Amino acid sequence: MKSFLIANPKGGSGKSTLATNLAGYFAQSGQRVMLGDIDRQQSARAWLDLRPALLPPIASWEIARAKDDREGRGKDGPARPPKGTSHVVLDTPAGLHGKALERVLKMVNRVIVPVQPSLFDILATRHFLEALLEEKAVRKAQTFVAVVGMRVDARTRAARELERFLASYDLPVLAYLRDTQLYVQAAANGLTLFDLSATRAGPDLEQWQPIVDWANAPE
């Protein structure tokens, strides 16, 4: 089973957009895919409720409740997916760090970090990347990490600044996804770019090709 974590500590970085569309790609490819959401807001679950039944299915990953006997508090966590699931995509909340990040990293094969090319996004992501690369799973090369530039034109100075920032971490920038209302319009109807016609979503599907190539590469 292949599993992907979409994570960035900053809210509004494009995590849910990336997670839902990656799950949509796998579904359209005939895979048995589950979209998990460990954010209490459950945005991905709400999106799945909008998804038309005629489209290739994307299952929801239920949240399990585990009790901490010492303190009497419940802790949320993603339940184990049912047998037969081939691909899992995990969406995450803002502020993911520490033990929570370490726990989730142990559950996935690959990590995609969406980053917008603004100063504030870069500063917020810097500390996260440092913590991510220090995690045991990443250091042992059990987890592969890559970055996707969100809402940015690859030809702009902003994209070059983002590349310079990431060069010090030796992380690949898989793709730059342009700022377009097509993502918003599709999401509002429970759709992804991969559910749209090539005529309508062609340029954006081309931008996604490096991401799906990386996702499909052997471990």
The ranges assigned to domains in the chain are 2-216
pTM confidence score: 0.88
- Report the topology of domain 2-216: Rossmann fold (3.40.50)
Average pLDDT over residues 138-160: 83
Q: d(Cα 14, Cα 27) in Å, to the nearest integer?
A: 20
How does the average pLDDT of the chain come out, rounded?
84
pLDDT at 26: 97
Q: d(Cα 87, Cα 31) in Å, to the nearest integer?
A: 7
Average pLDDT over residues 18-28: 96
Element containing residue 167 per DSSP (H, E): helix 157-167
Tokens of 137: 């799973």
